[in-house]
Structure 1
Amino acid sequence: MMALTTAGTTTGGSDLWSEARLAEDMALQMSLLKSDSALSNTFKEAVMSGSVTSEQFWSTRIHLLRAHALEKSQIRGPYNVLAAVRSTTVDGVARISLSREQIADIFSQHPLVKIVYDENVPRVSEDQFWSRFFLSRLFKKLKGDKLLQTDPTDTLFDRYLNRDDEDNSRKRRRIDYVPLTIDLAGNEQNITKGRGNAPDMTMRPSRVENTPIIRTLNSLSHKLVDLVAPADPNRDEDQDEHYIQEQRLADLGGDMEEERIILNIQDQRNFFSNEQDDGGKGQNKFAGMDATVALEGMIRDLGTNHFDISDILPNEEDEDMEDMDGTATARKTSFHLATKQVTEAVRDRTSQMISVGAAGTASSLFATTGGLPREVFESVQSVHATTNEFLHHFWLAFLSGDEKRAKDINSMVSSLRKSKDRIEAVAITAEEQKEVERVKRKRDLHEEYKKTGIKPKKKDMEVGGGRKVVDEMLAPTLVAIEKALVKYESALDEAEKLAAAA
């Protein structure tokens, strides 16, 4: 991510994740389709059938492309490769397996090893070089381990023990500007060396022999940080104010003056005139209701019996709100229908969760698929996703008001009509599969009756799935299709009438 930020900053990066660039990146789109099977099925049904163009399909999924691009661009950061190397014992002999990537990381993090390698290979074979290196004291020093008197010596690598790996390290990243608020070198004259407080205990080695180890570990940490690309290489002097604001103690400052607009009101009683003159109709209608009793009743009704939220609302029939054209009645009817749908959905979802939690895997699968076979249920999911795709693009084009998109609207209408046929085909397949399952269940129960002599019960003959389940699952989708087609036909009739009048 930090490398991408650098690349974006240096190459005009604001359009690195722009909509136009993501919409044209076919390799990224194919990668996303391979990683998401559901999206791939929708793409095949909607785009490859010719109902929706590829541009239309991806225009509504720019956020998915951007998230996938960010996910792919993330790379693994540097790590201490010497500490990650592990040896294995085979036939009593310690063996170490190194990859070319690990060797390259060793050379990058420890340039001294590369110098030793260049000076001694191929005079010493490469296999022998690495086997001797991982047993040498030089390896322990670079790794940060403490050297002991009992460590084996090696004439090849011991010659480089006193050479500092820091002198041969990679070129440090050059920072052109350091804000004065954090520039330790620029404020060196303010740092006491010969006098003042001693360093903290955590900054002082307990023993003199530990000092080289601490320096080695600090040097290695410094190299790993240097291998990371800078997050903001174009930092300018305007950042000084930013650092100053961060270090400022806001609690010590005074309160900010509030800028208010003064309103001069002569008589405030006019604000309450509506509530005083409405004959008491504006009073709280729920003032006499016990909240605890009402809440307990609502929970009990939602969990067991049919519940209509309008039952606890005040009766509007007693209020004089009926219009001459019946607007209030229509509004009340719509409210009751919406309430019924919401409460039924809550109750169905609650019963599904209870059955899944109580019965285990088989019941969970049945509650998820409604008794449909897996392949039929996948067909239901596919036709649902494809139809939603058509509906989405239909409303985008229909509500745009652009006459140039009339062709797209006609194409989407044709696809929506075909979607009704697809739903009907899935329902027929579900009914056929249900009949096959019923015959199989009847045959199995008959065989069991011959073996045990126990007559099967009527409920054992019941089989789930079928057209009824498909119709229930896709009923909202069919309603959405019908509404879109009705709106289209209405707009088309109105356009024809205007054209005839003109």
Structure 2
Amino acid sequence: MSSMWEAGESVTTQAMAQYRKRSGTVYMTNRRLAWVPDGGLAPTISIKHDDIKGLFVSAETAAKVMIKIVEIKPDTSHAFVFTSGNAVKERNDFKDRLSTILAERQIRANVAAGGTGSNGGLSSGGGSPVISDASAPGTPKASAQSRMGPGGVRRGLNGSGPSAELKARFELLKQNKELAMLHKELVMGKHVTEEEFWESRKHLLRNKTAMDQQQKGQSSAWLDLKPETGESNDVKYVMTPQVIHSVCQQYPSIKRAYDNFVPDKLSEAEFWKRYFQSRFFHRSRSGRGANEPDDDIFDKALEEDEEETKSAPKRIKLDHINMLVDLSTTEEDHFESYTTPDSTMAAGKTKESKEAMPLIRRFNRYAQRVLNSTIGPKKPSTGSEPFNINGVERAIVLDDLREQKEASRIILDIQDTRRYFESQGGDLKSSKIAEGEDPADILKRCYEDFTTNEVELNKPFAIPESTFDTLMKNVKANRAKMMPPKDGSQLLPPQLYQEATACHAAGNEILRHFWASTSPDKAAKHMRMVESLKKIRDENVKALMIQASSLGAECLDAMKMMLKPMQSAIQKALKHAETARSKPAITRKLA
């Protein structure tokens, strides 16, 4: 194989892969990607690193594990299907390697174009890497957002390398449409650099990386294999490594047969072909009959599976269970009861429950295997759990029922209690009756005031209907004032409203960078943000106003209302920048 490669060329990654339904091996070297058919002596597909425009990958749940390489040449692409038992890992190795190559090439392009190295922005041409997760086999198509992959990258999060951070950035842009539009407006519009854009979004990258690193547990759903119908009405079943793993975990007898016969006595394809023709596979499907041929392997597996489901599970030793949750420990205290156990709830007592018992046991055993595959098998018990009386007391003793001990306190000893209570009563001079005032006269005046008002407490008080009408009018008027007025989303066309929202978001983002760069050590960035604010004000806002005015006065007013807060903030920022520039000159003049 060494004669295939040029001098100084070395293979970094290789895997078994089909190209146009032909079997072969795909190689990744330090110079190119090459595919060699089985039995071939030289690559029939050879793509240099600099000729790769982008790449696509199939979804994790797709039937075929694919990767598609797009060349810079127009309408030229190559799709490879990985066929080994470790196809997903091999495909991901190729994807990571290609992503790193594309990212490094983008950095070199930014430096050559006079950029800032790893701070370079996106490229709308052929230099931007493209990665896509397709939801179905075949040739995947990238959306408008997926074509905007970030170009320059620095070292990855947690030292994971540039490809990991590149992937995290790209996935965030693909999942968040608003973030992708803001990235396009700011970075591709050359208002801020790539690093400045992501500097304030490190938490998003960390969260995305943490979520990607989490291992997803196996689904407990019962596997249901459904056939696919081809063009010639032939029925076929697609067996991926994930499907094979699920079948073997769901049916241990099939796994034992697989381990005994594959690949020494039967090929993998022949084994699964006989499985789909056996009684084992068709036993729980409608339309089954006695037409399935006899098969020593799967008939024996069927007998083992049925025997396993018929037998009751082994009794579990309860010695290690805590006494607080062990319900069997108090069983002797409940003999005398006004209720009797429901016999229909006892397993295997009725005809219906007897028929359902094998299916219930099969589900329970499968659920237990899924649980063990996630948390691992349970460790054998070393003996009964020691009885801890302190733990029992903490669980059953209520603090509210305990006798409360009086807290230690210092007794306040007051010699003259009369003076103490007088001081606590406050100023009582204002409550004294004025000199010369008779208390009887005060009570008489209060009684006269009460009787002259003619208040009849024993009769209901009727409210006039006119009062209700006035109250209702006031409520409706206040509700109308509280209702939000029609905003731009209701008055502007959807496309124009989206452009106005993007402009508003871009302006706020540039304002944030402007106020964060007011220190003297960031003078260059500060001046760049000033120019960006002027561009937003003079170009973007003006263009939106022209479009809105062409649609009528109502749309123009709505556009002004939407952009007024941002325009005011931009005007304040530009005034601050002008004042800051004029201060040094005034200082020199005064000196």
TM-score, with structure 1 as normaliser: 0.52
Shift of 1:42: 1.4
Q: Distance in 2 between matches of 1:422 and 1:212?
A: 74
**Change beyond 3 A, Cα 1:227–1:106:** same
Structure 1 position 267 matched with structure 2 position 410:
no
Give the structure with the higher percent helix: 1
Amino acid corresponding to residue 522 of structure 2 in structure 1: R
Q: Distance in 1 between matches of 2:499 and 2:394?
A: 57
Amino acid corresponding to residue 157 of structure 1 in structure 2: F
Shift of 1:27: 1.8
Shift of 1:421: 0.8
Shift of 1:182: 8.4
Is contact 2:218–2:374 with CA below 8 Å preserved after alignment? Answer: yes
CA offsets, 1:127-157, max 9 Å, x none?
664354356555589x899xx9999864332
Equivalent residues in 2 for 1:317-396, closer than 5 Å: 349-351=484-486, 368=489, 370-371=491-492, 375-396=495-516
Q: Which of 406, 411, 434 is the matching residue for 2:528?
A: 411
**Change beyond 3 A, Cα 1:255–1:43:** farther
Amino acid corresponding to residue 417 of structure 1 in structure 2: K
**Change beyond 3 A, Cα 1:430–1:225:** same
Amino acid corresponding to residue 53 of structure 1 in structure 2: T
Q: Distance in 2 between matches of 1:488 and 1:499?
A: 18
**Change beyond 3 A, Cα 1:63–1:103:** same
Q: Distance in 2 between matches of 1:377 and 1:206?
A: 68
* Corresponding residue for residue 297 of structure 1: 474
Q: Which of 107, 110, 128 is the matching residue for 2:248?
A: 107
Q: Distance in 2 between matches of 1:221 and 1:61?
A: 41
Shift of 1:225: 0.9
Q: Distance in 1 between matches of 2:157 and 2:425?
A: 54
Q: Distance in 2 between matches of 1:228 and 1:259?
A: 52
**Change beyond 3 A, Cα 1:158–1:424:** closer
Q: Which of 174, 183, 186 is the matching residue for 1:34?
A: 174
**Change beyond 3 A, Cα 1:476–1:267:** same
* Corresponding residue for residue 298 of structure 2: 157
Is contact 1:22–1:62 with CA below 8 Å preserved after alignment? Answer: no
Is contact 2:489–2:497 with CA below 8 Å preserved after alignment? Answer: no
Secondary structure at 2:218 match in 1: coil
* Corresponding residue for residue 483 of structure 1: 572
Is contact 1:427–1:467 with CA below 8 Å preserved after alignment? Answer: no
Q: Distance in 2 between matches of 1:216 and 1:120?
A: 25
CA offsets, 1:403-462, max 9 Å, x none?
43344333322221222112453146416x82xx7xxxxxxxxxxxxxxxxxxxxxxxxx
Residue ranges of structure 2 left out of the alignment (5+ in a row): 1-155, 309-318, 380-387, 413-419, 431-466
* Corresponding residue for residue 327 of structure 1: none
TM-score, with structure 2 as normaliser: 0.45
* Corresponding residue for residue 221 of structure 1: 367
Q: Distance in 2 between matches of 1:301 and 1:209?
A: 67
Is contact 2:514–2:526 with CA below 8 Å preserved after alignment? Answer: yes
* Corresponding residue for residue 13 of structure 1: none
* Corresponding residue for residue 116 of structure 1: 257
**Change beyond 3 A, Cα 1:499–1:99:** farther
Q: Distance in 2 between matches of 1:294 and 1:267?
A: 47
**Change beyond 3 A, Cα 1:489–1:88:** closer
Secondary structure at 1:157 match in 2: helix
Q: Distance in 1 between matches of 2:322 and 2:587?
A: 72
* Corresponding residue for residue 275 of structure 2: 133
**Change beyond 3 A, Cα 1:489–1:72:** same
Amino acid corresponding to residue 368 of structure 1 in structure 2: S
**Change beyond 3 A, Cα 1:163–1:257:** farther
Is contact 2:169–2:205 with CA below 8 Å preserved after alignment? Answer: yes
* Corresponding residue for residue 473 of structure 1: 562
* Corresponding residue for residue 206 of structure 1: 349
Shift of 1:62: 3.9
Secondary structure at 2:255 match in 1: helix
Higher RCO, Cα 8 Å, sep 6+: 1
Is contact 1:390–1:412 with CA below 8 Å preserved after alignment? Answer: yes
* Corresponding residue for residue 59 of structure 1: 199
Q: Distance in 1 between matches of 2:374 and 2:407?
A: 47
Q: Distance in 1 between matches of 2:407 and 2:511?
A: 49
Shift of 1:163: 4.5
Secondary structure at 2:507 match in 1: helix
The total of aligned residue pairs comes to 357
Higher Cα Rg: structure 1 or 2? 2
Equivalent residues in 2 for 1:380-459, closer than 5 Å: 380-398=500-518, 402-427=519-544, 429-430=546-547, 434=550
* Corresponding residue for residue 237 of structure 1: none
Secondary structure at 1:113 match in 2: helix
Secondary structure at 1:487 match in 2: helix
